[in-house]
Amino acid sequence: MIRLKSREQIEAIRKAGKIIAEIFEDARDWAKPSVSALELDGWIADYIRKKGGKSAFKGYRGYPAETCISINEEVVHGIPSSRKLAEGDIVGVDIGVKIDGYYADGAFTFPVGHTSSKGRRLLEVSRCALYEGIAQIRSGNRIGDISSAIQRYAEGHGYSVVRTLFGHGIGEFLHEDPIIPNFGQEERGEKLKEGMVLAIEPMINEGGSEVTVLPNKWTVVTKDASLSAHFEHTVAILDGKVKILTSLLLDEREYLGG
């Protein structure tokens, strides 16, 4: 069942999203060589608490940390550890925030120091794939329009999309209907409606699309050990148009080229 949200509910979700957006403004300064994933996790957790929120991930289905921090071939759900970031790494930071009973979810993958041109290109294409998907979100379109736009952009630039992990609805719960694949056909799937709130999150691999889960039962890695990038925004449909709730920009046209 898809839970359509009122304007008031969307504003509550935006409050959680603003915390995520503020963190990502500063996180690039923290994602430096010699900083550990655990230090990043602690800094982010402190910031969320200072703003009156709580981590949406800590304890969710037994997850042990405040955030997910995934390095290089780790696709998502990397458990923060004392492992230090190294020059040339890429690090995906995935944050969920709950405040006043509502959730937002966002992710960004950062270069650590001087990253190779291959790594930088993967990040840029993955980020753009996210916005290609978001640009399809408006009343009357369908989930497949989002999915196909992401797939077309990523594969058109020589990358693959992960096919076993998806975006999702969000708001009163961290994960709600509908499921939003990062691949598919245009004009297929659930019709997009006023009041939908969605977490759009392409996971793009440098190599093949196949992934596997590490023995910790959380961390997903590429099967061929190639690099992977993860970007995510929580968005809403208001007045028939998309609004990005995990951005500090008031006008999303800066992202969408309008």
- Binding residues for a divalent metal cation, by number, are 94, 105, 168, 201, 232
Which tokens in the block code for residue 44? Answer: 């982010």
Nearest-10 crossing angle of helices 143-156, 117-134: 160
Binding residues: 77, 94, 105, 168, 175, 201, 232
**Nearest alpha carbon to residue 13 among 194, 236, 192, 254:** 236
Determine contact, residues 133/149, Cβ cutoff 8 Å: yes
Q: Helix count (H) and strand count (E) of the chain?
A: 5, 15
3 state DSSP class of 178:
strand
Query: Distance between CA atoms of 248 and 180, rounded to whole angstroms?
Result: 24
Buried b (16+ CB within 10 A) or exposed e, 113-128: eebeeebeebbebbbb
3-state percent breakdown (helix, strand, coil) of the chain, nearest 5: 30, 30, 40
Binding residues for substrate: 77, 175
Query: Distance between CA atoms of 13 and 102, rounded to whole angstroms?
Result: 6
Q: Report how far Cα 79 is from the mean position of its chain's Cα atoms.
A: 16
The CA-based angle 230-233-238, given to 5 degrees, is 155
Cα distance from N-terminal residue to C-terminal residue, the chain: 32
